[in-house]
Every structure is written in C-alpha cells, then in structure tokens.
C-alpha cells in the first residue's frame, strides 16, 4: 500500500526509510545473537554439559547492546524520514492556494483545507516514519529468520514461514472494508468541520435572527453521524487486531509444537528447540506491528488522496504582464452573474482615471462590490470589457495586478501577530521609519506609541482593537503598498464618525496622486468626487459630479434626500438626548 506520488512529493524521505529498515534488520540480527546465547546457556544447564562462557557472554552482550543501539538509530532514522513531510506538504498546499487565488473555495471547503494542513499532514508524518519502514522490514524479517531456523528444523521453519502471510491476507481483506469506512470518516469529518467554521463565523447573525437553536440541532445531527462513523472505524480496527493476534499466536504455537515434536523424536536438540521457541514470535511481530500501523497508513492514504486532489486542482492560465505605468481602469458594456442566471451587472460603462477620486454609489444589492471584484480580478467570468489600459483584466498576471491595485474592504483581514508583521505584508522590506509614516497618516501612531509601538500584539482579526482602529490599520497597510490604484469598498462602514472623517481625509489626499475608487453607502463621503456612478438594479442610472446628479439623476436625488433626512433625524434625536 504505497503511493508513488508521495515519494515524488517528498523525494528525500525514501533514503531515510531504507536506512530505518537497515537498522531494524540490524536489531533483528542482534536479537538472534541474544537468543542464540541464552538458548546455549539454558540447554547446557538442563543437559548438564559444559558451555563456553566467553562465547555465550559475548553473544548475549552483543545482542543486548546491538538491540539498544539499533532501536535508537532506527528511531532517529524514522524521525528523519518524516521530519520534512509536514513542512513540505504544508508549503505545497499554501503555494497551491496562492496560485489558485480566492476561488479555491469553489472546489474545496476552507475547513477541509485546514484539516488537511493540520491532521492530514500529521497522518502523513506517521505514514513515512512508521508504516513504510515497517512494510519493508515485515517482508525481510521472516525470510531472514527462516534462513536461521531452517538448518535446525526445516518443518518448523516452513510452518512458521507459511503462517506469516496469513496476517497480510487479513490486512488485504480489511483494506477493502477500511477504505470505504475511512473515506466516509474523512468526508464526515470535513463536513462537520465546515459546518462548525460556518456557524462560528456567523454566530452573531444567528443570534440576531434567533436561528442559533436550529443550527445547534443541525450540528448535533452531524456530530452524531461523525460519532457513528468514528465508532465504525474503531470497531473495524479492534476486530482486525483480534484476528491478527489469533493468527500470530496460532502460527507461533504451531511452529513451537512442530519443534517440540521433532525434539521428542530426537530430530532436534534441546538447544534447537529452545532457539525456535524463543524466535517463533519474531516471525510474526513485524507483520503484527505492520497490521497496527496499517490503520494509521489507511488514514494517511485517505488524507493523501484528498491532499493530491487539492494539489491537482486546475490553476489559472498564465497571464500577460501589466501595461505601462499610467494606465487606467475602465468598463465597457460589462455584465456579470454569480450563478449564471440572475444578472448582477448589466451593460456597465465606467472609467477610473489614473489620478483622481471616483465613486460608485447605490442601494445594497445594486452591484457595487461586484464592480470592485471585477476590477481587482477576483471575478473573471464577466461579459463585455473590463480593462486596465487596453488589456482585459482577466488576461493580466494576478500577482502583478495585486501590486498595481490595492483593495481595502469593510472587513480587511488582520492576522494575529504584531503591528509590524501585519504592515510588512504590504512591503516586506520597509523600515521602521516607513511604517511609522503610514501609521501617522492613518492617525494611529499616537495610540500605538502609548502601547508597545510596532511590536504591539494583535489578536486574530485584531479583535483587541476598535472597529475604527482596525480600519485605519488596514488603511495604513494599504498606503504602505504604494500602489498606483486603490479601491475602497465600504471601507468606512461600521465605524464611528470620527474615524470615518479621518479615513475620508486620507483618501482625498491619496486621490491627488493616485487612482482612487471609493464604493460607499454614504453619499456625504463622495460629494467632492470627480465622477460619481449611480448603480440601480445592476445598471448605471447616472454619472457625473454631485451637483450634476442632483439635477439630472432621480435615483441619486432620492438616495441623497433619504440620507439627509436620516442624518437630520439623528442630529435632532442626539440634541434632545
């Protein structure tokens, strides 16, 4: 049960696997020396004959020391065989996800990727470090022992060797059942993990709509299915262990019986009978251990199949390089649908100049964020033209496009670590002076100086910062990237008014030298934009400056009037309080 793809994935592991087998074989030879010396001493004591003390003592000492040394070296080689497996496989998974981009989730759930990167890699480590060396050793050891025992008592050696293949026969029978059970186990494990992650991320929404109880019951049902399939795996493992133990003990008993019968008829000396009795277990121990590791190997193979399915996912075709500096984004007759049925965008025409502030506004669901996804290359299945300069965005190299355009959303991800770590994602070689410069621009420097400076620790998603501080830190990171173009997709939503005003001031200053596209639900933030595009039901209802749209676009006028009334109501209520 070997997968050649695994050796291709970790080519250096095979040498350490073979070295482990050699040390195990050396340990077997040392054990034969030990048993040979013990059998000589016992036979001499029973028969009352002389025994060469130096000879027997040397064999016993060599056997004890040899076994200890061989066991230690085999353990070290096994560790080296598996040491790089986790690192290499995790790096390959990470690199694959980077090449595929955000669309990996269309083919494999995030929870499954996490499980394969953690537990799946752990199973592969055990597969390389324990199962593979034992597989080779289990084939060689009985053959070597047969060569030792056959000259002493050929019938006993034949019986012992003949019983050994019964264990792999049991393993083969179990494998057919185990493969199906373990496939179901991993599928259910991934499904439960996916549901748990989804529920955890959406817990606030579930609480708001009082849907947490229903999701609780759903998770209970999935957990029960996982418990059932886990018990099936354990039951299969225990039953197979019982069968293998019966075969091993029965085979050893049969071999010993033949040797004792031969000794009773004088065909074998007492020394020979003792040697066979003490070595009979060693015929079956390697195969028996292989059977124990087999269950781990099946888990490893099941995980490897899923890992290779991920690594073999199709990647985007190689794209062309970016156009010359100064190129601008534009859309001509662009349309898009997420499900292939309901159009989210319809014949959208839009132009984002290389320098200046452009805005996209509209009601929720009108397609504003979809425009950001098309311009950034996150979605490529559009109709019409989405251009950077004269080239289609979907034809551009994603890595180069990511350097050319920086997108900041309403929930930009901040990683657990330090402020310095998060900022340097945008510019790995930036020095501290540059980091403080963007923090000053984002009005975060004073706060961080009062903490631990650039070494201030952040929790996952920067949960220990306020909403405004999180957005300003994400903005500082974006400024550090120093891209020619920026998209701010609802970057000021869900934060306090003071933080919102600070961020908008930064964006206006940035627009004096960069291309800035602001997608905002609040029209007051974009009144000074050079051009405002009003989206309505996936199409452009109007385009122009704030004053032009107030006089010519009913959709914009309605939005402006409704928002002004809400703001006046809020001001009156705040004054009354």
Residues 292, 409, single domain; the answer is: no
Residues 261, 358, single domain; the answer is: no
Residues 446, 488, single domain; the answer is: yes
Contact call for residues 475 and 503 (beta carbons, < 8 A)? yes
User: Which H/E stretch holds residue 259?
Assistant: helix 212-264
Residues 290, 404, single domain; the answer is: no
Domain assignment present for 318: no
Contacts of 211 (CB under 8 A, 6+ apart): 205
Residue 385 confidence (pLDDT):
93
Domain assignment present for 35: yes
Residues 259, 343, single domain; the answer is: no
Confidence of residue 170 (pLDDT cuts 50, 70, 90): confident
Contact call for residues 359 and 518 (beta carbons, < 8 A)? yes
Structural domains in the chain (count): 2
Domain assignment present for 90: yes
Residues 236, 373, single domain; the answer is: no
Task: Look at the chain and count its residues.
Answer: 577
Residue 115 has pLDDT above 70, yes or no: yes
Last residue of a domain, one of 283, 311, 339: 311
CATH number at residue 251: 1.20.1560.10
Instruction: Give the tens place of pLDDT for each residue, 38-88.
Output: 888 888 888 777 777 787 888 888 889 998 999 999 888 888 877 778 888
Domain assignment present for 238: yes
CATH number at residue 444: 3.40.50.300
Q: Which of 10-24, 95-109, 545-559 has the highest mean pLDDT?
A: 545-559
Residues 349, 435, single domain; the answer is: yes
Structure token digits, residue 239: 């039953």
Alpha helices in 130-202 (DSSP H): 132-149, 154-163, 166-201
Domain assignment present for 124: yes
Q: At what angle do helices 270-311 and 85-100 cross, to 10 degrees?
A: 20
Query: What is the CB neighbour count within 10 angstroms for residue 441?
Result: 19
SS3 content of the chain, % helix, strand, coil (to 5): 65, 10, 20
Residues 305, 339, single domain; the answer is: no
Contacts of 21 (CB under 8 A, 6+ apart): 133, 136, 137, 140
* Residue 116 to residue 313: CA distance in whole angstroms: 15
Query: What is the CB neighbour count within 10 angstroms for residue 188?
Result: 18
Domain assignment present for 320: no
Instruction: Give the tens place of pLDDT for each residue, 423-454.
Output: 999 999 899 999 999 998 888 898 999 999 99
Domain assignment present for 324: no
Residues 286, 347, single domain; the answer is: no
Instruction: Give the tens place of pLDDT for each residue, 9-23.
Output: 777 788 888 899 999
Instruction: Give the tens place of pLDDT for each residue, 374-392.
Output: 999 888 889 999 999 888 8
Model's pTM, two decimal places? 0.65
Residues 429, 549, single domain; the answer is: yes
Instruction: Flag the least confident range among 66-70, 133-137, 353-357, 410-414.
Output: 410-414
Closest by CA to 190, choosing from 87, 119, 86, is 119
Exposed / middle / buried, residue 561 (Cβ in 10 Å: 0-12, 13-18, 19+):
exposed
Residue 166 has pLDDT above 60, yes or no: yes
Residue 544's SS3 state is strand
Residues 439, 469, single domain; the answer is: yes
What distances in angstroms separate CA 491 from CA 502, 507, 519, one per listed residue?
Answer: 12, 10, 8
Residues 289, 360, single domain; the answer is: no
Residue 571 confidence (pLDDT):
57
Instruction: Flag the least confident range among 115-129, 215-229, 414-428.
Output: 115-129
Structure token digits, residue 482: 């120093």
Question: Bridge-partner residues for 540, per DSSP?
Answer: 535
Exposure pattern of 14-27 as b/e (b: 16+ CB <10 Å)? eebbebbbbbbbbb
Domain assignment present for 411: yes
Q: What percent of the chain has pLDDT over 70?
A: 95
Q: Which domain holds residue 414?
A: 329-576
Residue 291 has pLDDT above 90, yes or no: no
* Residue 455 to residue 462: CA distance in whole angstroms: 13
Closest by CA to 515, choosing from 482, 544, 490, 559, is 482
More confident residue, 105 or 311: 311
* Residue 283 to residue 290: CA distance in whole angstroms: 12
């Amino acid at each position: 049960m070997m997968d050649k793809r695994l050796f291709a994935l970790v080519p250096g592991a095979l040498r350490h696997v073979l070295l482990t087998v050699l040390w195990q074989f050396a340990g077997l030879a040392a054990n034969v020396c030990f048993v040979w010396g013990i059998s000589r001493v016992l036979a001499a004591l029973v028969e009352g004959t002389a025994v060469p003390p130096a000879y027997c003592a040397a064999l016993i000492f060599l056997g004890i020391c040899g076994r200890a040394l061989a066991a230690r070296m085999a353990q070290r080689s096994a560790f080296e065989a598996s040491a790089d497996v986790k690192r290499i496989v995790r790096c390959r998974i990470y690199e694959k996800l980077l090449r595929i981009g955000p669309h990996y989730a269309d083919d494999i759930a995030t929870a499954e990727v996490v499980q394969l990167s953690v537990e799946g890699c752990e199973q592969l480590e055990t597969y390389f470090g324990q199962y593979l060396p034992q597989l080779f050793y289990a084939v060689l050891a009985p053959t070597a022992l047969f060569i030792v025992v056959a000259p002493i008592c050929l019938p006993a050696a034949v019986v012992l060797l003949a019983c050994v293949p019964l264990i792999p026969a049991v393993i083969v029978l179990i494998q057919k059942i185990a493969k199906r059970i373990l496939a179901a186990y991993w599928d259910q494990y991934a499904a439960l993990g996916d549901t748990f992650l989804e529920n955890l991320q959406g817990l606030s929404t579930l609480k708001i709509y009082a849907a947490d109880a229903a999701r609780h019951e759903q998770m209970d049902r999935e957990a029960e299915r996982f418990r059932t399939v886990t018990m099936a795996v354990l039951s299969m493992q225990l039953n197979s262990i019982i069968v293998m133990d019966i075969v091993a003990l029965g085979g050893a008993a049969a071999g010993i019986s033949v040797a004792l019968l031969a000794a009773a008829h004088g065909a074998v000396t007492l020394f020979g009978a003792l040697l066979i009795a003490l070595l009979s277990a060693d015929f079956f121990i390697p195969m028996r251990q292989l059977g124990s590791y087999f269950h781990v190997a099946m888990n490893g193979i099941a995980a490897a199949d899923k890992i290779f399915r991920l690594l073999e996912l199709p990647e985007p075709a190689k794209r062309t390089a970016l156009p010359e500096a100064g190129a601008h984004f534009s859309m001509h007759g662009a349309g898009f649908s997420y499900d292939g049925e309901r159009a989210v965008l319809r014949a959208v025409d839009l132009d984002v100049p290389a320098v200046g502030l452009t805005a996209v506004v509209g009601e929720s669901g009108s397609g504003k964020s979809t425009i950001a996804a098309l311009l950034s290359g996150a979605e490529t299945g559009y109709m019409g033209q989405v251009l950077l300069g004269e080239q289609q965005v979907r034809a551009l190299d994603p890595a180069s496009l990511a350097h050319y355009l920086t997108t900041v959303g309403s929930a930009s991800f901040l990683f657990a670590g330090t402020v310095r770590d998060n900022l340097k994602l945008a510019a790995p070689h930036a020095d501290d002076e540059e980091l403080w410069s963007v923090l000053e621009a984002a009005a975060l420097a004073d706060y961080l100086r009062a903490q631990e400076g650039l070494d201030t620790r952040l929790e996952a998603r920067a949960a220990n910062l306020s909403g405004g501080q999180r957005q300003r830190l994400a903005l500082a990171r974006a400024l550090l990237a120093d891209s020619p173009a920026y998209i701010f997709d609802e970057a000021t939503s869900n934060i306090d008014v003071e933080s919102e005003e600070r961020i908008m001031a930064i964006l206006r200053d940035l627009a004096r030298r960069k291309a800035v596209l602001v997608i905002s639900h609040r029209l007051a933030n974009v009144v000074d934009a050079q051009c405002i595009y009003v989206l309505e039901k996936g199409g452009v209802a109007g385009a122009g400056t704030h004053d032009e749209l107030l006089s010519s676009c009913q959709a914009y006028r309605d939005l402006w009037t409704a928002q002004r009334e809400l703001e006046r109501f809020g001001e009156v209520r705040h004054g009354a309080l």
